[in-house]
Amino acid sequence: MKRSIIKDLLKNPVFGETVCVKGWVRTRRGSKQVTFVALNDGSTVHSIQIVINLSSFDGEYIKDITTGACICVEGLLVESQGQGQSAEIQAHKIEIYGKADPAVYPLQKKGHTLEFLREIAHLRPRTNTFGAIFRIRHHLSFAIHKYFNRRGFFYFHTPIITASDCEGAGQMFHVSAFDPDNQPRTADNRIDFARDFFGRHTNLTVSGQLEGELGAMALGGIYTFGPTFRAENSNTPRHLAEFWMIEPEAAFYDINDNMDLAEDFLKYVITYSLEHCRDDINFLAGMYDAGLVDRLNFVLGNKFVRLTYTEGVEILEKSGRRFEFPVYWGSDLQSEHERYLVEEHFRRPVIMTSYPKEIKSFYMKQNEDMKTVRGMDVLFPKIGEIIGGSERESDCDKLLARVNELKMSLDSLWWYLDTRRFGTAPHSGFGLGFERLVLFVTGMSNIRDVIPFPRTPNNAEF
Ligand code: 4AD
Ligand code: MG
């Protein structure tokens, strides 16, 4: 018999029909005569109730239908008498695909902490919480592609293995095909990468931006959406060593166009999630974050504040607040400062611009004051920095001067500088940390809980 998807059955039930469903048992309860099984197939946070009249089944066989088991059920779809559910299935035929021995299956009824579930990341998608999060993650990905496609931006695939360090922070994972116990050495006893697979030293990309810019300087508008890697030893609820980033890059955009794009884009994908993931968002709000829906609507309903770094630092200095990290002009703002501005001072998302050049990357457009650059960070409640971007330095001489000042290697950047030599144009772009967006939309508080298999310092299990 053809399998029905539980989400569809609950949405448009045709009572009196015989149906077939397949899924994993969430709970089982009942009496000597009748057993009730909550069955979930991952299509929705809601499980469907299966009613098993024990007089019509072999008790020995049915005994193995315990939490975690996978079963196939055929039966009659009837209106449910139980509270809070529209339809249930009176089972005629049951096949057990896979048992889950209750003595060892780790996901029993309820009450597991998120910390415990991280240790069983291979099974946690079977909980209501992680089912909801990963469905929202999917819908957000889809919305992102939809948004840029509609705006005429092309999905551009930038390499994962590269020889450059876009952010210049040196937080890279090295890529080598050498036998770690037997690496060829040069005469001065350094590892001889010239003899390695790529004939040079390579690493996992920290950002697709540099190659993304090449795309924008030909196709007009592009975006990337791929994994990026940072070997920064930050054990925080907002950092991953492997995370997904969306990086639009657009020719002929100045910093203001870039800010408009970022705000419109974030509002679009948040609206999309409210329209397409309402059951899952409501579930998570009920479990973890009562203010979630209000916070999402709040971001949608308010224009983001735009202010310069200098203005922001002044506000922080005058706040009278004692921060863990001191603030002064030139200091890199910490999450506590960003959240103060967003959550307490303005009570709105903030786009901060014109940062001191020393705390930003080499490629940002230099302002006339020679001190600041046209970077922009979008700061969100609960999250802090959700987007980082800038207008790019399109003047070849100025860019080259900055590259030299920072003693960056021209050897791995010549092609990037070529865009400024041949048909340069004003252009801008930004990077959205996908998991930070998923954190915001799900209301979860640890980034390890919004990616199926998180990679963090000392953790690459699964
Ligand atoms: O601010 P970042 O470092 O900017 C760039 O990489 C630019 N090349 C982007 C561009 O202009 N095309 O990173 C961009 C965003 C941050 O705002 C943050 O949301 C996220 O990526 N991010 C991280 N997310 C999770 N874990 C980490 N370790 C992250 N580092 C950055
Ligand atoms: Mg940043």
In the reported structure, the alpha carbon of residue 255 is separated from the centroid of ligand 2 by a whole-number distance in angstroms of 16
- Say if residue 314's pLDDT is above 80: yes
- Say if residue 411's pLDDT is above 90: no
- Say if residue 299's pLDDT is above 90: yes
- Which of 206, 209, 225, 243 to mutate for ligand 1's pocket (most ligand atoms within 8 Å of CB)? 243
Average pLDDT of the residues in 64-73: 97
Q: How confident is the model at residue 166 (pLDDT cuts 50, 70, 90)?
A: confident
Strand partners, 262: none
Q: Which ligand is nearest to the CA of 355?
A: 2
- From atom 7 of ligand 1, which residue's Cα is the shortest distance away? 431
Average pLDDT of the residues in 159-185: 92
In the reported structure, the alpha carbon of residue 385 is separated from the centroid of ligand 2 by a whole-number distance in angstroms of 7
- Cβ-based neighbours of 414, under 8 Å, separated by 6 or more: none
The per-residue pLDDT for 234 is 85
Relative to the CA of 206, which ligand 1 atom is closest? 6
In the reported structure, the alpha carbon of residue 398 is separated from the centroid of ligand 1 by a whole-number distance in angstroms of 24
- From atom 19 of ligand 1, which residue's Cα is the shortest distance away? 433
Strand partners, 242: 229
The per-residue pLDDT for 459 is 94
Q: Which ligand is nearest to the CA of 332?
A: 2
- Say if residue 122's pLDDT is above 90: yes
Alpha-helical regions (H) of 202-241: 209-219
Average pLDDT of the residues in 151-174: 93
Q: Which ligand is nearest to the CA of 166?
A: 1
Q: Which ligand is nearest to the CA of 207?
A: 1
Average pLDDT of the residues in 321-340: 95
The per-residue pLDDT for 108 is 84
- Cβ-based neighbours of 135, under 8 Å, separated by 6 or more: 45, 277, 280
Distance CA 23, CA 3 (A): 10
- Which of 332, 355, 436 to mutate for ligand 1's pocket (most ligand atoms within 8 Å of CB)? 436
Q: pTM for the full model? A: 0.97
Collapsed DSSP state (helix, strand, coil) of residue 410: helix
In the reported structure, the alpha carbon of residue 246 is separated from the centroid of ligand 1 by a whole-number distance in angstroms of 9
Q: How confident is the model at residue 111 (pLDDT cuts 50, 70, 90)?
A: confident
In the reported structure, the alpha carbon of residue 387 is separated from the centroid of ligand 2 by a whole-number distance in angstroms of 7
The per-residue pLDDT for 163 is 93
- From atom 29 of ligand 1, which residue's Cα is the shortest distance away? 239
The per-residue pLDDT for 300 is 96
Average pLDDT, the chain: 96
Residues with beta carbon inside 6 Å of ligand 1?
Answer: 166-167, 207, 209, 230, 232, 239-240, 243, 245, 247, 385-390, 429-431, 433, 435-436
- Cβ-based neighbours of 48, under 8 Å, separated by 6 or more: 6, 9, 10, 21, 38, 39, 40, 85, 87, 88, 89
- From atom 26 of ligand 1, which residue's Cα is the shortest distance away? 239
In the reported structure, the alpha carbon of residue 335 is separated from the centroid of ligand 1 by a whole-number distance in angstroms of 14
227: which 2 tokens? 């994994």
The per-residue pLDDT for 6 is 98
Beta strands in 15-155 (DSSP E): 18-30, 34-40, 48-53, 70-79, 87-98, 154-155
- Say if residue 84's pLDDT is above 80: no
95: which 2 tokens? 């096949």
Average pLDDT of the residues in 31-37: 94
- Say if residue 110's pLDDT is above 80: no
Relative to the CA of 212, which ligand 1 atom is closest? 12
- Bridging pattern class, strands 48-53 and 87-98: parallel
Length of the chain in terms of residues written: 462
Q: How confident is the model at residue 102 (pLDDT cuts 50, 70, 90)?
A: very high
Collapsed DSSP state (helix, strand, coil) of residue 51: strand
What is the CA angle 431-413-247, rounded to 5? Answer: 15
The per-residue pLDDT for 38 is 97
The per-residue pLDDT for 233 is 86
281: which 2 tokens? 């968002």
Distance CA 79, CA 315 (A): 60
Q: How confident is the model at residue 60 (pLDDT cuts 50, 70, 90)?
A: very high
The per-residue pLDDT for 81 is 81
- From atom 9 of ligand 1, which residue's Cα is the shortest distance away? 431
- Say if residue 275's pLDDT is above 90: yes
Q: Which ligand is nearest to the CA of 387?
A: 1
- Say if residue 434's pLDDT is above 90: yes
Relative to the CA of 386, which ligand 1 atom is closest? 19
Average pLDDT of the residues in 186-206: 96
Q: What is the share, in percent, of the chain residues with pLDDT greater than 90?
A: 94
- From atom 31 of ligand 1, which residue's Cα is the shortest distance away? 433
- From atom 17 of ligand 1, which residue's Cα is the shortest distance away? 387
